[in-house]
Amino acid sequence: MDKIFRSSWFIKIISFLIALMLYNVVSSNEIADNNDNAFSFTTGNQKATMTEELEAKYDHDKYIVMGLPKTVDLLLRGTSEQITKAKLLATRRVYVDLTGKKPGTYRVKVLTAGFPAGLHVEPNPSSIRVTIQRKVTKNFSVNVDFLNKNDLANGYQLGDAKIDPAKVAVTGAEDIVNRIAFVKGIVDVQDASDTIRARMALNAYDKDGNQLNVLINPGIARVEVPLVHPSKEVAVDIHSTGHAPNDKSVASIDVDPQTVKVYGKKEVLNSIDKITLNLALNRIDHSGAYEVKVPVPSGADKVEPDKVTVNVTFKEDEKKTVKNVPIAVEGLDDPDQTVAFISPKDRMADVVLIGDKSAIDAIKPSDIQLIVDLAGLGEGEHEVDIMVKGPKNVEVRPVPKTAKVRIGSGSG
């Protein structure tokens, strides 16, 4: 026996058994520590919590249930094997049973099924308040809101939108569907310079703009919006200034084209009826076609074409001189002031009439008035223009063009 105890094999076997026992002790302690991290212990049981989706049993074709939370918490009490199995089971369910209930508000118990036998399962909350409403479907027109409409490419505006589909079916609880004021999507048009084509998600809103929880079918719509540059055709008017050269008169002035297209915002275009071109006759020395730039009206974006052709035809004028037309005085600041003409001394000037012969022959001397305006002039000598009031259909030139006067005071 002593030989056995002293043998090296006996000592190795005993050492191995002792080591195996120590390993088992350490392993059991580690398992206990791990279980402490996963569960809280009660007397004789373990417990754990888990979150589970909440289902509802009701007629989904007829009703909609409101007030259902998506999930509930569960407190599990039992052995570690029961808890572990509960977490692995695909058959577990947490639900409320609304079978046979009509529209109304109810407090119902949260039920569980499919958990291991002997495991205590406690839902939190244990009951919930739900409202059952009739499920209705209505059709609504689709609208679109455009973001950044003021940031389109310069001068462009949105045309009429084409939306496909134009109407959608909206399904939801009766009270909510009845609150729908409009269904719309949103499209950002910032910096757009060509036809806009987009897909937009649709949502339903009440009259205050609050988004409502309903099902929209289809939930996506396509929108196409052309960009337009508003324009307006307006007439081109010619306004001539100055005198025709070399004793000629204008026989005709024609413009080609007679209208141009003005581009801009509608409110600007509404205020534009025509575009007037100024034609300086004193810069034209013969009949012919002249290219004139068309001004862009204030607030407009552009004009097309930006140049037009003005055809001017001159004719030789008749001349007639009306002699010794009296010169009247106007504008004296003080009625007691006196006026003496230095030149012409006789206070008369000749008038040259230039124009069509028939128009000149119809003019009588009494149709012509010569005036000097002395408003604002003080005592002393002044040279002032001789102004003409007379027929508008001929050119009237005073000879001389100016008069020299002396303004005095009192009767002298």
Same domain, 371 and 387: yes
Same domain, 90 and 21: no
Q: Quick check: 207 pLDDT over 70? A: yes
CATH number of domain containing 299: 2.170.120.40
Instruction: Name the helix (H) or strand (E) containing 36.
Output: helix 8-38
412 confidence band (pLDDT: 50, 70, 90): very low
Same domain, 141 and 183: yes
Same domain, 380 and 308: no
Pairing label, strands 71-78, 45-53: antiparallel
Residue 209's domain comprises: 135-228
Coil, helix or strand at residue 292? strand
**Where among 209, 228, 247 does a domain terminate?**
228
Same domain, 149 and 222: yes
Q: Quick check: 29 pLDDT over 90? A: no
Same domain, 263 and 249: yes
Is residue 62 a part of any domain in this protein? yes
CA distance 112 to 97: 10
Higher pLDDT, residue 183 or 148: 183
Same domain, 139 and 224: yes
pLDDT of residue 189: 86
15 confidence band (pLDDT: 50, 70, 90): low
pLDDT of residue 301: 85
**Where among 92, 125, 158 does a domain terminate?**
125
Coil, helix or strand at residue 140? strand
Is residue 71 a part of any domain in this protein? yes
Same domain, 368 and 396: yes
CA 365 → CA 320, 351, 396, 412, distances in Å?
11, 9, 12, 32
- Asked if 163 and 184 count as a contact pair (C-beta separation under 8 A), the reply is no
125 confidence band (pLDDT: 50, 70, 90): very high
Same domain, 31 and 85: no
228 confidence band (pLDDT: 50, 70, 90): confident
32 confidence band (pLDDT: 50, 70, 90): very low
Helix ranges, 294-390 (H): 357-361
Same domain, 330 and 399: yes
350 confidence band (pLDDT: 50, 70, 90): very high
pLDDT of residue 37: 39
Q: Quick check: 20 pLDDT over 80? A: no
**Where among 105, 125, 145 does a domain terminate?**
125
Same domain, 140 and 223: yes
CA 89 → CA 54, 93, 119, 262, distances in Å?
16, 10, 13, 76
Is residue 164 a part of any domain in this protein? yes
User: What's the pLDDT tens digit per position in 266-299?
Assistant: 888 888 989 988 888 878 878 888 898 999 999 8
Residue 172 exposed, middle or buried by CB count within 10 Å (0-12, 13-18, 19+): buried
CA distance 398 to 387: 8
DSSP assignment, residue 208?
A: T
User: What's the pLDDT tens digit per position in 33-78?
Assistant: 444 433 343 434 899 999 999 999 999 999 999 999 999 999 999 9
Is residue 245 a part of any domain in this protein? yes
CA distance 333 to 303: 49
User: What's the pLDDT tens digit per position in 67-108?
Assistant: 999 999 999 999 999 999 999 988 899 999 999 999 999 999
Same domain, 148 and 194: yes
Is residue 130 a part of any domain in this protein? no
CA distance 126 to 77: 16
pLDDT of residue 253: 87
Q: What is the percentage of the chain residues whose pLDDT exceeds 70?
A: 87
CATH number of domain containing 337: 2.170.120.30
pLDDT of residue 18: 63
Query: How many domains does the structure of the chain reveal?
Result: 5
Q: Quick check: 2 pLDDT over 90? A: no
